[in-house]
Amino acid sequence: MDFDLTKEQEMIRKEVRKFARKEIAPIAAELDEKEEFSQELTRKMGEIGLFGMFVSEEYEGQAMDYISYIIAVEEIARIDGSQAATIAAGNSLGIGPIFYFGTEEQKLKYLPRLCSGEGLWGFGLTEPTAGSDAGGSKTTAVLEGDEWVINGSKIFITNAASEMTMGVTVQAITGTRESGKPEYSCILVESGTPGFKAVPMHKKMMWRASNTAELYFDNVRVPKENILGNKGDGFHQMLATLDGGRLSIGAMGLGGAQGAYDLALKYAREREQFGQPISKFQAVAFKLADCAMEIECARNLLYKACWLKSHHRPYEKEAAMGKLYASEVMGRVADHAVQIHGGYGLMKEYNVERFYRDHKLLEIGEGTSEVQRIVISRYIGC
């Protein structure tokens, strides 16, 4: 087995880390405090190629392997979860479904602008009464002549209500199967379509500088050609999208854990008590050792899942494992990091406080930790 990254992957890590430290680190706390989504920063991330990383060049993508994409998300998350969320959702949830399931016309129409970072796209799945139970969705789309008429609402949708948002992919009920169960399809809805309203959500505990929205559809009419793939493929498309998305959430957990650990290690080496750095005390040193070990385990598990995907092998079980483990590792590392900081760890002027808040979403978004355990248990035959 070869655990070495390629020269290109190493270069991506180096350049994204440099960008994150120079462009994101100085303003991350301020954006978080103001709950401000930065279009300027998002465009800068687009300029260095952080959108459309796995998309082929014919659609203006970067044509990179999935590990390269995950490394980029990891390095952004090492500095700030909000900006990592913009990248992860922009790629896995926004660009991904159009690239993998869209028609040639849809790809040519939307992907070049999305891959350049000029625009963003949302993925409308979660509803007020349908979270983990995605099959409980109530949003409907009825075909009337040459148009789909959409009614319903979505909630907690990333990148869906900014001035950069070009549109959203909406999962809706489009009929009933022979079994009596709802038939789901995904439909592309452009921003500005009459009856479609996206409302930014504020007062979040975490990812306060990312764009999160509630979506409302009131007799929204779009051309029948806006369907993604074939009628009835929506549930399959959603599951496939979430499988890939779990890898990017895992990368956010891995990067966030590394960032919290970096802060804790630095503080422990500088903070003195009883005449020596607190890193010399066994109670602190053991916490840091545990953090380093779990981060290494998370990285190996997540990279293996990405390797499987890049080589077109089954990876769904490993994706669920990677997402579950990395997100919970960040929780444990962030907790240790705050403990090592003591009272200072509870103050907003110390970045570790932000990492502690940001980790919680990772155990909920893209399938809760409980749902990941259900997925894994099914793969192992329980």
* CA distances, 275 to each of 25, 52, 54, 270, 271 (Å): 32, 52, 52, 12, 10
Residues of the chain within CATH 1.20.140.10 domain(s) are 236-379
Task: Please give the model's pTM, rounded to 2 decimal places.
Answer: 0.95
Q: Are 87 and 115 in contact (CB under 8 A)?
A: no
3-state secondary structure of 179: coil
Chain segment 77-133, per-residue pLDDT in tens? 999 999 999 999 999 999 999 999 999 999 999 999 999 999 999 999 999 988 877
Residues of the chain within CATH 2.40.110.10 domain(s) are 122-232
Chain segment 167-191, per-residue pLDDT in tens? 999 999 999 998 889 999 999 999 9
Q: How many helices (H) and strands (E) are present in the chain, helices listed first?
A: 12, 10
Task: Work out the average pLDDT over 153-161.
Answer: 97
The Cα angle at residue 72 between residues 70 and 76, in degrees rounded to 5? 115
Going through the chain in order, the beta strands assigned E by DSSP cover 120-124, 140-144, 147-158, 165-176, 182-190, 196-200, 212-223, 227-228, 272-273, 276-277
Instruction: Give how far the C-alpha of residue 93 lies from the chain's centroid of Cα atoms, to the nearest Å.
Output: 8
**Burial of 211 by CB count in 10 Å (0-12 exposed, 13-18 middle, 19+ buried)?**
buried
* Residues identified as active-site: 366
The predicted pLDDT at position 266 comes to 98
Question: Tokens standing for 305?
Answer: 């899942």
Chain segment 294-331, per-residue pLDDT in tens? 999 999 999 999 999 999 999 999 999 999 999 999 99
Spatial CA neighbour of 244 closest among 382, 79, 55: 55
Instruction: Give how far the C-alpha of residue 359 lies from the chain's centroid of Cα atoms, to the nearest Å.
Output: 12
Q: List beta partners, residue 173.
A: 140, 184
136 C-beta neighbours (distance < 10 Å), count: 11
Q: How confident is the model at residue 376 (pLDDT cuts 50, 70, 90)?
A: very high
Topology of domain 236-379, CATH:
Butyryl-CoA Dehydrogenase, subunit A; domain 3 (1.20.140)
Instruction: Give how far the C-alpha of residue 161 lies from the chain's centroid of Cα atoms, to the nearest Å.
Output: 16
C-alpha to C-alpha distance for 86 and 98, rounded to whole angstroms: 17
Check if CATH label 2.40.110.10 holds for domain 122-232.
yes
The predicted pLDDT at position 135 comes to 72
C-alpha to C-alpha distance for 173 and 169, rounded to whole angstroms: 13
Residues of the chain within CATH 1.10.540.10 domain(s) are 7-120
With a cut of 90, say whether residue 25 has pLDDT above it.
yes
With a cut of 90, say whether residue 136 has pLDDT above it.
no
Instruction: Give how far the C-alpha of residue 86 lies from the chain's centroid of Cα atoms, to the nearest Å.
Output: 7
Q: Are 51 and 117 in contact (CB under 8 A)?
A: yes
Question: Tokens standing for 376?
Answer: 């894994």
The predicted pLDDT at position 233 comes to 95
C-alpha to C-alpha distance for 261 and 264, rounded to whole angstroms: 5
Topology of domain 7-120, CATH:
Butyryl-Coa Dehydrogenase, subunit A; domain 1 (1.10.540)
Measured between alpha carbons, how far apart are the two ends of the chain, in Å?
Answer: 30
